[in-house]
Amino acid sequence: MTANLIDGKIPEPASLRAARARRAALLAEVERIRGQLADRSRERSMPPRAYGIWRQAAKTASQHLAEEARQLGAWIEAEEGEAARLLRKARDVLRTFLEEEELFPEEEAVLVEIEAYFGEKIAERRTA
């Protein structure tokens, strides 16, 4: 597995699910590499120069994978934050809608925002 960084940044993930799966795979790979780095039998089984080159490459790969995982974690947190904010607003507006006949303009604006947000998500699914 190689890190998917472009100029040090992750490309926009296709979905929250894809981002979570990629992050889990990255973290597993980082742990696998760290396990190899901790294994001293590899050092004894390789010539010193070859081991040094391998060790440096493994450390670099681990750092790049960990950085991608970190950035994906931040992206996931931001995406979940936006969705959670909209869902809280939606719950409040829908509760009002069910209890009362009229919505205030700011409540109607929440419904428009929700429609736009989920409309984009639905359009993305249809074109994928």
- As a whole number, mean pLDDT of residues 95-111 equals 76
- Dist CA 26 CA 126 (whole Å): 28
- Dist CA 128 CA 23 (whole Å): 21
Reply yes or no on whether the pLDDT at 101 is more than 70: no
| In a domain? residue 76 | yes
In this prediction, residue 21 carries a pLDDT of 92
| In a domain? residue 40 | yes
pTM beyond cutoff 0.75: no
- Domain coverage including residue 25: 16-127
Q: Which residue has the higher pLDDT, 121 or 113?
A: 113
Q: What is the DSSP string of 93-126?
A: HHHHHHH-S---HHHHHHHHHHHHHHHHHHHHHH
| In a domain? residue 93 | yes
**Strand, coil or helix: 6:** strand
Reply yes or no on whether the pLDDT at 128 is more than 80: no
| In a domain? residue 4 | no
| In a domain? residue 21 | yes
Q: How many domains does the chain have?
A: 1
| In a domain? residue 89 | yes
Query: How does the average pLDDT of the chain come out, rounded?
Result: 86
